[in-house]
A = this chain, B = another copy of it.
Amino acid sequence: MKAEIITIGDEILIGQIIDSNSAWIAQELNKIGITVHQISSISDKEEHIIDALNQAKERADLILITGGLGPTKDDLTKHTLVKYFNTKLVFNEQVHEQIKILLAQRNVEMNKLNSLQAELPENCEIINNSNGTAQGMWFEQNNTFFISMPGVPFEMKKIVTDELIPKLKREFKTKSVYHKTVMTQGIPESMLSIKISDWENNLPNGIKLAYLPQPGMVRLRLSCSCENINKFAEIIETEINKLYDIIPNAIFGFNDISLEETVGKLLTKKNKTIATAESCTGGTIAQMLTAISGSSKYVRGSVVAYSNDIKENILGVKTESLIKYGAVSNQVVEEMATGILKLMKSDYSIAVSGIAGPNGGTKEKPVGTIHIAIASKNGVKSHKFLYGEHRGRNIRRSALTALNLLRLEIMNNL
């Protein structure tokens, strides 16, 4: 089965936003064995939409369309589809009710524009959007399937995950693909590829490896497209066990689990709590931990100590340590970590101090110098790292490294 993705919206064509939806959709389709043949970004114009649909249906059986379903005048997709499929809009009572409830939950009153979102093409199957007012629409024409979805990632992803993928699985017999993604942190891609090259070269026939780097981590995707899923799943498990022996500290989980979720699960399981004292990460670790639902059970809190007097007065860092070693030092992060542990009465703590950049570096402590400490009732350990020049990447990498160090500390204390 061949798919195409058409994204509608001038904002992509003028470069105002980057189309990240398509890559995400392609990944999800790949998981159920559907190949994406082409991705086209086109303008919000009726004629252009119709041309793109005509061309896509010559090449593909499944055409996913995103964007242009908002309630405002510049959103033309729905009206164009009505014309294309020679149908008309009908008012859908049930959808209207659903939109009303959704808006009420957001404390927004139903207005004329929102009401129009309940008018939908007569000959399509509605694909429920529980996160927004624009419904997904499934059309069929001569054995080609057209699915229109909103472009808002949060709404589109919910539709794809909850409705579209299950429906595609039900309706089409697609080739089976087995994937397992190994999540790693702490080893840059090029170094990782050297470390694991023997293992990679000896992977059994039929198993493919892809490196999927993200800032601060590398995902390794093992996949096979095969008849006998169970057999291959077993083979892949064996290979992952070998990988553990090569990079024991780097693997933190599987299948796109985040590091903060992994840590959260560990803390929940052990009934332990965490607090953070953050200088250069500025609350990023706290933000990541608390983004997880249910984190109030194990997150005690955090102090972001951007200036030295806060490190002293609130976290209890010694004045002489700041003078002797400077705020960016193992000594100071250790005192920050023990200080926050005491202040927040937590079982574990993380402290980070560093020079995120792009300014503030010196010869001794260049931009990218980061110190991280992990404290618990067993004491405190600190580590020094040297990253790059880019502020955002340094902050992200520091936060991920700190969470992985915490994970290893909890594991060792089991």
Contact = CB atoms under 8 A, between A and B. Distances in A.
B37 A43 contact: yes
Given A154-B215, A300-B307, A303-B302, A15 B27 contact: yes
- How many identical subunits does the complex contain? 2
A306 B310 contact: no
A284 B281 CA distance: 11
A212 B359 contact: no
Q: State which size class the interface on A falls in.
A: 35 or more
Interface string A96-132: 0000001001111001111000000000000000010
Contact of A212 (B17, B22, B105, B286): B17
Contact of A39 (B41, B133, B282): B41
Name the residue in A25, A72, A221 with the highest tally of chain B Cβ atoms < 10 Å from its Cβ.
Answer: A72
A293 interface: yes
A82 interface: no
Residue of A191, A304, A389 with highest tally of chain B CB at under 10 A: A304
A16 interface: yes
B26 A15 contact: yes
B287 A287 contact: yes
Contacts of A48: 37-38
B42 A13 contact: no
Given A18-B18, A210-B74, A304 B282 contact: no
A295 to B, nearest CB: 7
A283 B287 CA distance: 5
A244 B132 CA distance: 29
Contacts of A343: 314
Given A283-B287, A300-B307, A25 B15 contact: yes
Given A39-B41, A189-B70, A190-B113, A392 B291 contact: yes
Nearest to A395: B291
A364 B240 CA distance: 49
Contacts of A287: 281-284, 286-287
Contact of A194 (B111, B291, B304): B111
Interface of A: 10-20, 22-28, 30, 35-43, 48, 52, 55, 70-72, 74, 102, 105-108, 111-114, 131, 133, 152, 154, 179, 181, 188-191, 193-194, 209-213, 215, 219, 221, 256, 276, 278, 280-287, 289-291, 293-296, 299-307, 309-310, 314, 343-345, 357-360, 366, 368, 385-393, 395
Given A16-B23, A291-B392, 16 more contacts: A12-B22, A13-B26, A13-B37, A15-B22, A16-B210, A19-B39, A70-B211, A71-B189, A106-B368, A276-B304, A282-B295, A283-B304, A291-B395, A294-B359, A301-B310, A309-B345
28 contacts: A11-B212, A12-B39, A13-B37, A14-B27, A14-B179, A15-B27, A15-B28, A16-B181, A22-B41, A37-B42, A38-B43, A70-B213, A71-B189, A72-B190, A74-B210, A105-B389, A106-B387, A107-B387, A111-B191, A112-B194, A113-B194, A114-B190, A282-B287, A283-B290, A290-B304, A290-B306, A290-B395, A293-B357
